[in-house]
Structure 1
Amino acid sequence: MSTDNTMSSSTFSGIHHRNVEHENNIDKTPLGISETSTAGAAAPTTEDDDMEPLPSQPSGANMIVEESTIQTFMQYADRLLIGLNPRWRNWIIRGIFSWVMILGFAKLVSMGPLVVSIVVLLIQIKCFQEIINIGYTVYKSHNLPWFRTLSWYFLFTSNYWLYGESLINHFGFMMNKNNFLQPLVTYHRMIAFLLYTSGFVGFVLSLKKTYYLKQFTLFGYTHITLMILVTSSHQMIQNICEGMIWFLFPVSLIICNDIMAYMFGFFYGRTPLTKLSPKKTWEGFIGGGISTLVFGFILAGILSHYQFLVCPLEYDDDRMSLATSCIPLPLFQKTIYTMPKPFSLFKRTLELYPFQLHSLVLSLFASSIGPFGGFFASGFKRAFRIKDFAATIPGHGGFVDRFDCQIIMALFTNVYISTFARVASPNKLLQQVLALTPENREEFLRLLRNHFKE
């Protein structure tokens, strides 16, 4: 999540409009491609030489028309808070919707891992829509064939491949029992490859003379978007499968850092942090970082106490349902630590969950590297001269504006789990053995007996 550490002076009625940033140093060609004058050049000798330049940058007038309900709310907020300074009006509306999102997030977590996974997928789709609509303005300008259709097709194909892999990994044994699902499990990767190949062939057939550069640029634009969004959301769901705590905790860290950096920047911000986002300040960055470290250490101790948060997502074949209890990993069992000098003068031992020590690393990453996801998004918006990706959330912008920092945090968490926290699951190993043919099971048991005899 990106954080504006000092408030915008614009009125609420301007929040939901796409504003063009008038800066002389911003590239005015879409997708970062510069236009080169061909005046006086020799006559073109190839098809690529006579291609016309890309259209000018999409401005606010070209962007998506926001939902009427959002516009109505912003107009009502303008009238209700008309007596306040615009800076404080924005602070109030941002705070209200921050609490709405936090309470909604808490309710979502209480509904269980499957519901959370579905919501993550829906958010990914919404973020994809916001980003791809920027490229769609180029499509509409030149009537490039099949751009939007192929973009959504590639999104479907990517999700089918990655999420199918996750389902097979965690529920493959159960799916193999179903006559309809069994072929989909067996030939999953081949089906996914053929789906992608069909889209690839469709793109090649859609190539249009004089627009090759634009079409290949948008092809790359779509695939980079897929790489960032689909990969990160897939890793986030993988984290959920390791235990809800691996989803709830990193997301909460980013939320805390976002809020506290905003608050410190709002009240104490004086020193600009980066030109990519002039409203961010060093005061907000440092204040948010310290607050996140303290918050993370305390929250880790609280969450580690709840078994339904620390248990990995596994299928209980006996109950024919998801397992709701488990023996917590040592990571989530209290351990007594001997305090090093000079801290031992005050207290010789300290009882902590080991996860609380891991939380310091995650908190440090969330507060120091996480904001760069927001800086990246700010640079992207400046390249396209837009204020926000959308105006879906009053005072916050679009979904991409709120989840930009979550992308890099989800990836780091997944790498951290696989490096420092993951252990082999006996239940998952059992499912893999049961998925073998009877002959292979007997061979496996024979090898296992021989191994222990030795």
Structure 2
Amino acid sequence: MIGMFYFIVKRGVTCLMALVFLLQLKCFSEIINIGLAVYRLYDLPWFRALSWYFLLTSDYFFFGESLIDYWGLVLRKDRFLFALIVHHRLISFVLYCFGFIWFVLSLQKGFYLRQFSLVFFLIFFYIFCFYFFQFAWTHVTLLIIVSQSFLIIQNLFQGLIWFLVPVSMIICCDIMSYMFGFFFGKTPLIKISPKKTWEGFIGGAFSTILFGLVLSHFMMENPLFVCPVESYYQDNLNCTIPLSFQYREFEAPRPFSFLFRLFRQQPIVRFKPFLFHSVVMALFASLIGPFGGFFASGFKRAFKIKDFGDIIPGHGGLMDRFDCQLLMGTFVNVYISSFIRSPNPHKIVQQILWLTNDEQLAVYNSLQEQLISSGLIPPS
């Protein structure tokens, strides 16, 4: 055993990472089997499949983050890996959303509490004694609420529009889904929330897309909403307008280019890219966002409660209103980091200034060598 471990150590970091991964899989398998045996979860719908899916999704994100941090420059040389690196967080979030939707769709009456114990790791809580339950429950709640609130605050620093538009979309989708469902609803959408209908779901989606485009059009004209916050001392009304809010020309897709030629026009479309981003956010808010509400409905049914609180008379607590907002805020943050945010020279300079004098000189010399080798500056 010692000899094998020594051999793995000699093989380097890659083999040690593989060892950690394999040990993790075995430990996870043992804990899942305990849950199946102790709580007789053999009949629980999709228990094993969902457990392993969430594990692999988590591993993809965390192992990927580590590889990108340390080997990103090498991995970027491959085209396929470059795409995976650039969109790593978005891919991870999409994988998680797929599992999230899969879980909501698998909820069955009589299994609610046990199924939610999978998501909140309550199996661990019940294995330990009652006193550990309070500690674990608090920390899982912190993980869900605080981490997503942190991501929403990060969105604010990219410009108020990245906060206000998504929040407004969720509100619009909620209202319009109710209106369309009330007047035209006939076909049930999902068992966990019997009052939701396909008519309301589809009507809310189209309304949200239209509302998002109109709201974005007006907000993009005001620097207050589009200027990112880069410094505490910098005026947020005077900035270089980000490219997402400037008119740009794009070639029309081939299936539609004949329409332009029909009128003897160049197949060029001119618009502000944020309008496209607005459509993407609206699609998420209307198609995926509601599953945050379905998830909350299942959670309340599992614990036999009507609302999370009573701070809003007739509407329950704040979590009853913000269940979809948290999921939406996380998506916007992932979307910004994948497609919008680029390295910020101002922030990079700030980080360099935090270094010691010797470290700053080392960065300067290294940067100078790179610029000379790239031909951007002449040799000194």
2:279 matched to which residue of 1?
Answer: 360
In structure 2, list runs of 5 or more residues that go unmatched.
Answer: 1-37, 41-124, 374-380
Alignment partner of 1:232 is 2:148: yes
1:416 matched to which residue of 2?
Answer: 335
The question of whether the paired residues in 2 share the 8 Å contact of 1:257 and 1:291 is answered with yes
Moved more, 340-349 or 405-414: 340-349
1:291 matched to which residue of 2?
Answer: 207
* TM-score using structure 1 length: 0.50
Matched to 1:229, the amino acid is I
Q: Distance in 2 between matches of 1:391 and 1:292?
A: 28
Report the alpha carbon displacement of residue 323 of structure 1 after superposing the two structures with TM: 4.5
Moved more, 214-223 or 239-248: 214-223
Q: Distance in 1 between matches of 2:157 and 2:312?
A: 29
Report the alpha carbon displacement of residue 336 of structure 1 after superposing the two structures with TM: 2.9
Alignment partner of 1:264 is 2:183: no
Matched to 2:250, the amino acid is Y
Report the alpha carbon displacement of residue 279 of structure 1 after superposing the two structures with TM: 1.4
**Superposed CA offset, 1:2-47 (max 9, x none):** xxxxxxxxxxxxxxxxxxxxxxxxxxxxxxxx999xxxxxxxxxxx
Q: Distance in 1 between matches of 2:316 and 2:287?
A: 23
Moved more, 343-352 or 228-237: 343-352
Moved more, 360-369 or 433-442: 433-442
**Superposed CA offset, 1:355-390 (max 9, x none):** 111222111111111000000100011112121111
The question of whether the paired residues in 2 share the 8 Å contact of 1:273 and 1:280 is answered with yes
Report the alpha carbon displacement of residue 397 of structure 1 after superposing the two structures with TM: 1.5
1:375 matched to which residue of 2?
Answer: 294
Report the alpha carbon displacement of residue 428 of structure 1 after superposing the two structures with TM: 1.0
1:252 matched to which residue of 2?
Answer: 168
Alignment partner of 1:332 is 2:332: no
Matched to 2:348, the amino acid is L
Question: Relative to structure 1, is the Cα distance of residues 298 and 443 closer, same or farther in structure 2, using a 3 angstrom cutoff?
Answer: same
**Superposed CA offset, 1:255-303 (max 9, x none):** 1111110111111112221221111111111100111112222222222
Matched to 1:237, the amino acid is I
Q: Distance in 1 between matches of 2:303 and 2:175?
A: 26
Report the alpha carbon displacement of residue 350 of structure 1 after superposing the two structures with TM: 3.5
1:301 matched to which residue of 2?
Answer: 217
Q: Distance in 1 between matches of 2:293 and 2:228?
A: 30
Report the alpha carbon displacement of residue 321 of structure 1 after superposing the two structures with TM: 5.0
**Superposed CA offset, 1:106-147 (max 9, x none):** xxxxxxxxxxxxxxxxxxxxxxxxxxxxxxxxxxxxxxxxxx
Q: Distance in 2 between matches of 1:312 and 1:442?
A: 30
Q: How many residues align?
A: 246
2:310 equivalent among 391, 412, 423: 391
Matched to 2:176, the amino acid is M
Question: Relative to structure 1, is the Cα distance of residues 211 and 282 closer, same or farther in structure 2, using a 3 angstrom cutoff?
Answer: closer
* TM-score using structure 2 length: 0.60
1:446 matched to which residue of 2?
Answer: 365
The question of whether the paired residues in 2 share the 8 Å contact of 1:314 and 1:322 is answered with no
The question of whether the paired residues in 2 share the 8 Å contact of 1:243 and 1:309 is answered with yes
Greater helix content? 2
In structure 1, list runs of 5 or more residues that go unmatched.
Answer: 1-33, 37-206
Q: Secondary structure at the match of 1:315?
A: coil
Matched to 1:352, the amino acid is F
**Superposed CA offset, 1:382-433 (max 9, x none):** 1121211112123322100000001111111111111111111121112112
Q: Distance in 2 between matches of 1:439 and 1:327?
A: 33
1:404 matched to which residue of 2?
Answer: 323
Identity, % of aligned positions: 49
**Superposed CA offset, 1:316-340 (max 9, x none):** 6xxx456442112211111133443
Q: Distance in 2 between matches of 1:398 and 1:343?
A: 51
The question of whether the paired residues in 2 share the 8 Å contact of 1:334 and 1:354 is answered with yes
Bigger relative contact order, structure 1 or 2 (CA pairs below 8 A, ≥6 apart): 1
Matched to 1:331, the amino acid is S
The question of whether the paired residues in 2 share the 8 Å contact of 1:236 and 1:410 is answered with yes
Q: Distance in 1 between matches of 2:128 and 2:361?
A: 58
Q: Distance in 2 between matches of 1:389 and 1:228?
A: 15
Report the alpha carbon displacement of residue 305 of structure 1 after superposing the two structures with TM: 2.1
Matched to 1:293, the amino acid is I
CA-based RMSD of the aligned residues comes to: 2.5
Report the alpha carbon displacement of residue 447 of structure 1 after superposing the two structures with TM: 2.5
Question: Relative to structure 1, is the Cα distance of residues 342 and 290 closer, same or farther in structure 2, using a 3 angstrom cutoff?
Answer: farther
